[in-house]
Structure 1
Amino acid sequence: MLVSFQNIALLALATGAAVVNGQSGSGKTTRYWDCCKGSCGWSGKAQVSQPIKSCDKSDNPLADMAASNACESGGSAYMCTNQSPWAVNDSLAYGFAAVKLAGGTESSWCCACYKLTFTSGAVKGQQMIVQATNTGGDLGNNHFDLAMPGGGVGIYNACTNQWGAPANGWGAQYGGISSRSECDSFPEKLKAGCQWRFDWFKGADNPDVSFEKVTCPKALTDKTGCVRDGETPT
């Protein structure tokens, strides 16, 4: 038991987050950036300080949490560009994801954070802590759809209306762009997150992961404004 506690302490030091009771297991990843308001952006989805922040068409945070999704006709709420991923160091990154976990619902994962350890592909052994900001209706169980600009719009697309992206988004509808140079034509606020995919993420194509629920880093909750009840970000 002593070894177990020591491992937990080492993990907290290495990632800046402490392991907490909750979901864990193995899963899969995909990628997306549809510019839509995340489904965790409405009140009542989970017991949290407030829903995740959404932004207007000009990327200004909206005070009206009830603003309708830009992926719906006449909607005015978009994904904020600061919900892009970034590298903390060579082995750790922070970001956001649409999540679906076996045996759970949005009430259990909205605004929760998960430490992903990549188990395949070019990023094998690297780790990423993501906050759940969305739920993908087309996702399978234990699935993390990582938010990264240029990752493909998937089912919905508000990027054309917000940024003038092509009709099916940048690159392929599923999977997005295929080279770092394509990031050069992106809106300035999205370039760094787009380039992250080819730098820290090494262009990995839907790597597998092991995952466990952790206390959210403050660096993530400061961007979304959303903290689960009873949790103090680290």
Structure 2
Amino acid sequence: MLVSLQHIALLALTTGSAVAQSGSGKTTRYWDCCKGSCGWSGKASVNQPIKSCDKSDNPLANMAAKNACESGGVAHMCTNQSPWAVDDKLAYGFAAVKLAGGTESSWCCACYELTFTSGPVQGQKLVVQATNTGGDLGQNHFDLAMPGGGVGIFNACTNQWGAPPNGWGAQYGGISSRSECDGFPEKLKAGCYWRFDWFKNADNPDVTFKKVTCPKALTDRTGCVRNGENPV
């Protein structure tokens, strides 16, 4: 039987092999000071990888610089990849992402609008750009980058900022009070306070998500734009 290309494309969108463009998901939080996995060339169809920074938070010209979470590595997550509030109901940020049916090539530097469906932030929206992924993430999982959110598996914060051996607070989950942000490096304080102010210290709230055109405010910070997309 002859099958049209249009029909094949439709089949792809309705099978498990198609990357999820919208749906329901879960969130966690982290800040490990490591270079994001979308920081290397060849990961996705983009103009350039996301920016990484040196130990002093200066952008690195060498996109191939070794991850600071590896021995001898020098590339860290830049502090401006912290979340911030646009208004009471909308914020922008960055996340490690894993979506059903996809790979890094499909989600690196893509943006997603998350609408929280549980907890104190229910109804609020966070638009994130995917800058990282992780083998420990589940399907349709957004690990939100926020200073003090816990280092998780890896930790470059001790080397970069003199954080405790397991990072600030608990290794998974991070600090527990806003006052702890007061002792953070100056460049990380705003993102740390955001968690307790706009985010209301929500504990891994559920979300619905949909893929959106990236806001220019996000791509200006990472330098990464997916080919064929015009940030708004």
Normalized against structure 2, the TM-score is what? 0.92
Q: How big is the shift at 1:181?
A: 0.1
Q: Does the residue aligned with 1:125 lie in a helix, a strand or coil?
A: coil
Alignment of 1:29-48 (within 5 A): 29-48=27-46
CA contact (8 A) 2:20 2:101 kept: no
Q: 2:168 aligns with which of 164, 167, 170?
A: 170
Q: Does the residue aligned with 1:189 lie in a helix, a strand or coil?
A: helix
Quick one: distance in 2 between partners of 1:227 and 1:116? 19
Q: Does the residue aligned with 1:66 lie in a helix, a strand or coil?
A: coil
Task: Name the residue aligned to 1:78.
Answer: 76
Kindly report the root-mean-square deviation, in angstroms, between the aligned alpha carbons of the 2 structures.
0.9
> Which structure has the bigger radius of gyration?
2
Q: How big is the shift at 1:22?
A: 6.3
Q: Does the residue aligned with 1:195 lie in a helix, a strand or coil?
A: helix
Instruction: Rate the CA distance shift 1:176–1:156 in 2: closer, same or farther, 3 A.
Output: same
Q: Does the residue aligned with 1:82 lie in a helix, a strand or coil?
A: coil
CA contact (8 A) 2:20 2:100 kept: no
Q: How big is the shift at 1:137?
A: 1.1
Q: Can you list the C-alpha shifts for 1:169-195, whole angstroms capped at 9, x where unaligned?
A: 000000000000000000000000000
Quick one: distance in 1 between partners of 2:178 and 2:227? 39
Quick one: distance in 2 between partners of 1:41 and 1:160? 21
Q: Can you list the C-alpha shifts for 1:184-221, whole angstroms capped at 9, x where unaligned?
A: 00000000000000000000000000000000000000
Unpaired segments ≥5 residues, structure 2: 1-18
Q: Can you list the C-alpha shifts for 1:59-87, whole angstroms capped at 9, x where unaligned?
A: 00000000000000000000000000000
Quick one: distance in 2 between partners of 1:139 and 1:202? 23
* Count of residue correspondences: 214
- The residue identity in structure 1 corresponding to 2:224 is C
- The residue identity in structure 2 corresponding to 1:198 is F
Q: 1:222 aligns with which of 206, 220, 224?
A: 220
Quick one: distance in 2 between partners of 1:73 and 1:126? 40
Normalized against structure 1, the TM-score is what? 0.91
Task: Name the residue aligned to 1:208.
Answer: 206
CA contact (8 A) 2:31 2:149 kept: yes
Alignment of 1:153-192 (within 5 A): 153-192=151-190
Quick one: distance in 1 between partners of 2:177 and 2:71? 32
Q: How big is the shift at 1:136?
A: 1.3
Q: How big is the shift at 1:94?
A: 0.0
- The residue identity in structure 1 corresponding to 2:223 is G
Aligned: 1:90 with 2:95: no
- The residue identity in structure 2 corresponding to 1:38 is G
